[in-house]
Every structure is written in structure tokens, then in C-alpha cells.
């Protein structure tokens, strides 16, 4: 199934209209808009820039996300009669009634959006989006655009950091819906962690809307709901070998359990019958997708033994079990123990399928955990610390006026770090002779662009370091105009770091996925380059990667 069909695109656009209506903004946007209108300035051409002041998580980069949602918001921006009547009730009584007629006719047809591509590696103080249009309209857009970009970029960047910590081999499963800040936070997290490098999500609605591969098997409640083998029904399974006669799957598994206990020197009386019943029931329901959580009671004394017995029985009937999930205790040590047992079973029983069983690790995982070091875990499921961005709950994007009526505007502020750089700007990414990006150059829009092979002098942005001279081998303009009416499918084909078309809607945890891994690799490669630079970058905003020319 395609990741973004026309129907799901329409659902997503309706979702944006419902989640981000024009009234989802701060009250002072309307009071300012009225004051502009009252003074006859509401149609003056104005330019705002959206950027963040410091790289998140004490690191050296962020990933820009939320652009597509911003496009859909601009496309649907329109006040209804009900909206206008509510504003009439909350604005001061002296507000001119003609202002509400003005609001009723507003849309974003005269607004121009320029932006870096979604999923791009970006840096502090570099303009990510430029919004141009009538002063009152682009003022009204501020809060909504910040809301759409702030969390999306933050959680996308957090996902990229988890991808860096996990490395290229392990697969990453986002499973934070139940821990997210409300339904909208959970859905946004699922979407943008996928862009940031996660392979799978547990969020079914995210799979439906965005085509993200979904995964899930069983919880501990399923295991503990069983008490004995009498609860298993049906009790038979037809082999894949072509014999149509059903096999007594319980008896077959009990025979394998005895052999596994003998091999490992385990005590059969300590094996939990209810857990075995749960595994049998699930395996009969999903013989091709059997993956069990094995720590409901004891991994070593019960869960691993029961799984191995059921998995061996499935193999005898021609099926291929998937693996296990560990959700408590020392996941690294347990993964080594589990892998050792799988190898023993493979060798002793001559079952090569046991060599390819996967191990999933979940349990309040953070970026700093030892889980990302040497172990036998193939898939890491991350929830709370991913979607809540525990280390930094906000990216701190701002939306600042830089030009009105063609004249640059600047905020000076009592805090120097809050001062803005006036005037419209263009951002260029400079690439060296080896094809590696080494500097983002911020220029005024009226300045000539840098040229490949031509030396230029630039100054660090936001600090007092001396100028430096560089000679780019290639120059790419990052900011491009983005049409409002671009369809979601078309946008995804153009975007540099999305592109999940053709990815199946549901993917077993052990199955290889090629459709989006190439896209994730692009992001990971970019981030790996930046991660090397992080060692040289202080935790302040004084990064030597950001320059004004």
C-alpha cells in the first residue's frame, strides 16, 4: 500500500483544519491585527522569519520538521462566521464592526512561504522559514506556525539522536503514544520520529494517515490473563508441509519443552503454565508472526523456556517464529543470555531458524542508556524519553519581523542574545571538494550569492570570533519558495528526506525494510557528520558552523 494515498492525504488535511483552526493562536495577535487595520497598515508588505536560538539537547544540530503541516494550515486558513462571532464577543466592545468583516474575508492567497526542505539538518539562528505577505495576515499566522514547527522539529531531532546512539544496524520502534502529551502530541511524535530515523511505530492511526509501518505483538496483560492449558483454543495447527491434518499443537509443544529443559538443565516445575498457554494461543493465532514478551514472570526460569518450546514446535511444522521482547531488568545481559540459548537450540536441534530470531528491547529507554552499547538486541522500542523529549521539552523557535514596506526592521532587546538580524536573508549550504557540507552561510537577500571556487570572507553568527575565509567547491541555496497548494503526495516526492511511498502499512519486526531505510540513512549520514562536529562545539549558541556573510 502506498504511504500517502489521496484518501489519507485528504484525511490529514481535514485533521489539520480541525487541530489548527485560525483561532488556535494567542489573543494579542488579534489585538495587533486590529490596531494595524485601524491605522490603515494591515496591507503593508511584511516579512517574518522563523528560527531557533540554540541547538537542542546541548548538541550541534537540529532537524527541521513541520513544513508540510504549515502548508496545509496556510491552505485552509479562513475564518468562519462562528469564529468571527466569538472574536466579536472577546475583543473590546469599542472594536469597529467593520474589522470583523475584514477578518471574515481573510485568507493566505497573498502569503509567500520560503523554507528549507523538511528533514534538513539545520542550526541555531539560521532562518528556517520566511513568511511574506500583508502585515496583519502574517502577524496572525505567528503562533500557529510556531506551534506546528517547534515540537515537530524537536521530536524529529530527538529521534535523530536516538538513531545516532543506536547505530545503523538496530531497528528503532517508536511506542510513545500512551506517554505523549495528548492525542495530538502522540500523532505528531509518531510522524516526525519516523522522519528522524525511526523505522516503525506502534501508533495505528499514524500508520493509517502517514503510511508509517506499524508493529506490535502482545502485552504482559495478555500473558497474565491465561492460567492453564485448558484455556488454549483451538488446540491444533495445520503444518505448512502440505499435510492437511491438524496437529495437536499443545502435545507437540510440551514434548519440545521437555527437551529444552533437559538441554538447559532447567526445572520444568518452575515453568509457568499460564504463560505457556498464552504463547500457544498466540502462536496458533499468528503462526507466521510469533513474537512473545518473555519477562512477565521470569525470563530464565519460564519465559525463555516457554518461548523456545513453542518456537521449536512452529519450526517443526514449517513456520518461522519471529523472536522475543524483553521489557524489564538488565536488558543487555538478558539479551546475551537469550541469544546464547537460541544458538544452543539451533545447534543441538539442528534448527537454523533459531539463528535469525530477533530480540526486542523496551523499558523506559533513554539516549544515554547502556542499551546502545554491545549487546544482542536487534530492535529497540522507545517511548517516554523520545516523545516527551525529557532532556529538553521545547526547541524555543521564534517568529520575528525583519522587514516592513521594504525597510529592514530589528529587535535590539535588553538581552543581546534576543537581538535579531534585520532584513530578508538567504541561506546557502557550502560543500567542500569531497562533497561534505562544512558551513551554512546566511546572506542578505540583496547580496550576491556565493560562487563555487570563489573565496569569500564570513563572520561567525552570534559571537565575536574573527572573520574567516573559505572557498566552497559547491553551493546550494537552502531556502526555496514553497507553494501552498502543493498536494501532500507531490510534496513528499519533492522533499529531500521524506519519501515513504511503497512502504507496507504493517511490517513484522524482523522483516527487512528497504523503502525508507535509504531515506533514514541520508539523515543518519548527515547527523553523523554533525555529531563529529559536536565535540568541537560548546553547549552555548556560539557554534562555528553558523555564519553571516
In the listed set 481, 509, 527, which residue is the last one of a domain according to the structure? 481
Number of domains into which the chain is organized: 2
How many of the other CB atoms lie within 10 Å of CB of 433? 10
If pLDDT is split at 50, 70 and 90, which confidence band does 463 have?
A: low
Alpha helices in 107-195 (DSSP H): 135-140, 142-166, 182-195
If pLDDT is split at 50, 70 and 90, which confidence band does 354 have?
A: very high
Four-residue CA torsion sign, 48, 50, 54, 59: negative
Report the percent of the chain where pLDDT is more than 90.
78
- pLDDT exceeds 90 at position 508: no
Q: Shortest CA distance to 173 belongs to which of 139, 200, 155, 211?
A: 200
Instruction: Examine the domain organization and report whether 409 and 456 are in the same domain.
Output: yes
pLDDT, tens digit, 9 for 90 and up, residues 97-151: 999 999 999 999 999 999 999 999 999 999 999 999 999 999 999 999 999 999 9
- pLDDT exceeds 50 at position 490: no
User: What integer pLDDT is reported at residue 455 of this predicted model?
Assistant: 96
Q: How far apart are CA 254 and CA 251, in angstroms?
A: 5
User: What integer pLDDT is reported at residue 424 of this predicted model?
Assistant: 97
- pLDDT exceeds 60 at position 72: yes
Q: How far apart are CA 147 and CA 399, in angstroms?
A: 11
If pLDDT is split at 50, 70 and 90, which confidence band does 242 have?
A: confident
Instruction: Examine the domain organization and report whether 395 and 344 are in the same domain.
Output: no
In a domain, 434, yes or no: yes
User: What integer pLDDT is reported at residue 493 of this predicted model?
Assistant: 34
Instruction: Examine the domain organization and report whether 132 and 256 are in the same domain.
Output: no
If pLDDT is split at 50, 70 and 90, which confidence band does 442 have?
A: very high
User: What integer pLDDT is reported at residue 11 of this predicted model?
Assistant: 73
Residue with cell 544540530: 61
Instruction: Examine the domain organization and report whether 263 and 349 are in the same domain.
Output: yes
User: What integer pLDDT is reported at residue 217 of this predicted model?
Assistant: 87
- pLDDT exceeds 70 at position 486: no
In the listed set 296, 331, 356, which residue is the last one of a domain according to the structure? 356
* Average pLDDT score over residue span 343-352: 98
Instruction: Examine the domain organization and report whether 207 and 224 are in the same domain.
Output: no
User: What integer pLDDT is reported at residue 16 of this predicted model?
Assistant: 79
Q: How far apart are CA 40 and CA 63, in angstroms?
A: 39
Rg value, the chain, Cα:
28
Q: Can you tell me whether residue 358 is helix, strand or coil?
A: strand
In a domain, 259, yes or no: yes
* Average pLDDT score over residue span 181-194: 96
Query: Which H or E element spans position 526?
Result: helix 517-534
User: What integer pLDDT is reported at residue 541 of this predicted model?
Assistant: 34
Q: How far apart are CA 318 and CA 498, in angstroms?
A: 38
User: What integer pLDDT is reported at residue 7 of this predicted model?
Assistant: 61
Q: Can you tell me whether residue 403 is helix, strand or coil?
A: strand
User: What integer pLDDT is reported at residue 19 of this predicted model?
Assistant: 86
Instruction: Examine the domain organization and report whether 252 and 335 are in the same domain.
Output: yes
In a domain, 121, yes or no: yes
User: What integer pLDDT is reported at residue 511 of this predicted model?
Assistant: 44
The least confident of 15-24, 31-40, 174-183 is: 15-24
* Average pLDDT score over residue span 362-372: 81
Q: How far apart are CA 423 and CA 177, in angstroms?
A: 41
Query: Which H or E element spans position 173?
Result: strand 171-174
- pLDDT exceeds 80 at position 547: no
User: Is-contact 166 380, C-beta < 8 A?
Assistant: yes
Q: How far apart are CA 382 and CA 448, in angstroms?
A: 46
Instruction: Examine the domain organization and report whether 297 and 412 are in the same domain.
Output: no
Instruction: Examine the domain organization and report whether 332 and 449 are in the same domain.
Output: no
* Average pLDDT score over residue span 18-42: 96
In a domain, 376, yes or no: no
Mean of all residue pLDDT scores within the chain: 88
In a domain, 396, yes or no: yes
Instruction: Examine the domain organization and report whether 260 and 182 are in the same domain.
Output: no
Q: Can you tell me whether residue 330 is helix, strand or coil?
A: coil
In a domain, 493, yes or no: no
User: What integer pLDDT is reported at residue 527 of this predicted model?
Assistant: 47
- pLDDT exceeds 50 at position 520: no
pLDDT, tens digit, 9 for 90 and up, residues 133-148: 999 999 999 999 999 9
Instruction: Examine the domain organization and report whether 32 and 126 are in the same domain.
Output: yes
Instruction: Examine the domain organization and report whether 109 and 203 are in the same domain.
Output: yes
Domain limits at 74? 8-213+391-481
CATH number at residue 461: 3.20.140.10
Q: How far apart are CA 251 and CA 317, in angstroms?
A: 13
In a domain, 296, yes or no: yes
Helices 97-104 and 81-90 pack at an angle, to 10 degrees, of 150
Comparison of pLDDT for 501 and 264, the residue scoring more: 264
- pLDDT exceeds 50 at position 58: yes
* Average pLDDT score over residue span 480-488: 66
CATH number at residue 291: 3.20.20
Instruction: Examine the domain organization and report whether 401 and 337 are in the same domain.
Output: no
How far from chain centre, in Å, is Cα 137?
30
pLDDT, tens digit, 9 for 90 and up, residues 383-429: 999 999 999 999 999 999 999 999 999 999 898 889 999 999 999 99
How far from chain centre, in Å, is Cα 116?
18
Please list, in sequence order, all residues whose beta carbon lies within 8 angstroms of the beta carbon of residue 127, skipping any fewer than 6 positions away: 49, 50, 51, 425, 427, 442, 479
- pLDDT exceeds 50 at position 521: no
In a domain, 528, yes or no: no
- pLDDT exceeds 60 at position 49: yes
User: What integer pLDDT is reported at residue 171 of this predicted model?
Assistant: 97
Q: Which three cell numbers stand for residue 59?
A: 548538541
In the listed set 295, 330, 356, which residue is the last one of a domain according to the structure? 356
Amino acid at each position: 500500500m502506498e504511504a500517502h494515498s489521496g484518501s489519507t492525504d485528504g484525511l490529514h488535511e481535514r485533521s489539520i483544519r480541525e487541530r489548527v483552526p485560525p483561532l488556535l493562536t494567542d489573543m494579542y495577535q488579534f489585538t495587533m491585527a486590529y490596531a494595524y487595520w485601524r491605522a490603515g497598515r494591515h496591507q503593508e508588505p511584511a516579512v517574518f522569519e522563523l528560527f531557533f536560538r540554540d541547538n537542542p539537547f546541548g548538541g550541534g544540530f537540529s532537524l527541521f520538521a513541520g513544513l508540510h503541516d504549515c502548508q496545509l494550515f496556510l491552505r485552509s486558513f479562513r475564518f468562519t462566521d462562528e469564529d468571527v462571532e466569538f472574536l466579536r464577543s472577546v475583543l473590546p466592545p469599542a472594536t469597529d464592526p467593520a474589522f470583523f468583516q475584514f477578518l471574515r474575508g481573510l485568507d493566505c492567497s497573498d502569503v509567500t512561504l520560503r523554507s528549507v526542505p523538511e528533514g534538513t539538518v539545520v542550526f541555531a539562528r539560521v532562518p528556517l522559514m520566511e513568511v511574506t505577505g500583508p502585515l496583519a495576515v502574517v502577524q496572525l499566522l505567528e503562533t500557529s506556525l510556531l506551534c506546528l514547527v517547534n515540537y515537530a522539529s524537536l521530536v524529529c531531532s530527538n529521534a535523530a539522536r536516538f538513531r545516532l546512539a543506536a547505530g545503523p544496524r538496530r531497528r528503532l520502534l517508536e511506542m510513545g503514544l500512551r506517554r505523549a502529551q495528548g492525542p495530538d502530541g502522540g500523532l505528531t511524535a509518531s510522524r516526525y520520529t519516523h522522519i528522524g530515523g525511526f523505522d516503525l511505530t506502534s501508533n495505528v492511526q499514524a500508520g493509517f494517515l502517514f503510511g508509517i509501518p506499524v508493529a506490535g505483538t502482545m502485552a504482559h496483560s495478555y500473558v497474565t490473563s491465561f492460567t492453564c492449558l485448558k484455556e488454549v483454543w483451538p488446540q491444533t495447527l495445520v503444518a505448512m508441509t502440505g499435510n492437511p491434518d491438524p496437529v495437536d499443537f499443545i502435545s507437540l509443544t510440551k514434548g519440545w519443552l521437555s527437551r529444552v529443559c533437559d538441554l538447559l538443565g532447567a526445572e520444568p516445575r518452575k515453568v509457568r503454565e499460564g504463560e505457556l498457554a498464552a504463547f500457544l494461543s498466540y502462536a496458533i493465532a499468528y503462526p507466521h508472526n510469533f513474537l512473545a514478551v518473555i519477562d512477565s514472570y521470569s525470563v530464565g526460569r519460564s519465559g525463555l523456556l516457554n518461548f523456545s518450546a513453542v518456537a521449536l514446535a512452529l519450526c517443526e511444522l514449517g513456520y518461522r517464529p519471529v523472536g522475543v521482547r524483553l521489557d524489564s531488568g538488565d536488558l543487555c545481559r538478558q539479551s546475551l543470555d537469550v541469544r546464547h540459548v537460541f544458538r544452543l537450540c539451533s545447534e543441538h536441534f539442528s534448527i537454523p531458524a533459531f539463528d535469525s530470531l530477533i530480540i526486542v528491547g523496551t523499558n523506559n529507554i533513554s539516549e544515554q542508556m547502556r542499551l546502545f552499547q554491545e549487546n544482542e538486541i536487534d530492535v529497540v522500542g522507545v517511548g517516554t524519553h523520545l516523545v516527551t523529549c525529557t532532556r529538553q521539552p521545547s526547541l524555543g523557535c521564534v517568529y520575528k519581523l525583519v522587514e516592513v514596506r521594504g525597510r529592514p526592521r530589528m529587535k535590539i532587546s535588553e538581552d543581546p542574545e534576543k537581538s535579531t538580524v534585520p532584513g530578508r536573508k538567504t541561506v546557502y549550504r557550502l560543500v567542500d571538494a569531497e562533497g561534505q557540507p562544512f558551513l551554512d552561510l546566511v546572506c542578505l537577500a540583496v547580496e550576491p550569492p556565493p560562487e563555487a571556487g570563489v573565496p569569500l570572507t564570513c563572520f561567525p553568527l552570534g559571537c565575536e570570533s574573527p572573520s574567516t575565509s573559505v572557498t566552497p567547491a559547491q553551493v546550494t541555496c537552502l531556502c526555496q519558495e514553497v507553494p501552498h497548494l502543493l498536494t501532500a503526495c507531490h510534496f513528499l516526492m519533492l522533499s529531500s528526506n521524506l519519501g515513504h511511498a511503497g512502504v507496507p502499512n504493517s511490517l513484522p519486526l524482523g522483516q527487512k525494510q528497504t523503502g525508507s531505510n535509504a531515506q533514514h540513512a541520508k539523515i543518519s549520514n548527515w547527523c553523523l557528520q554533525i555529531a563529529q562536529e559536536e565535540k568541537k562545539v560548546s553547549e552555548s549558541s556560539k557554534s562555528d558552523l553558523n555564519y553571516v556573510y
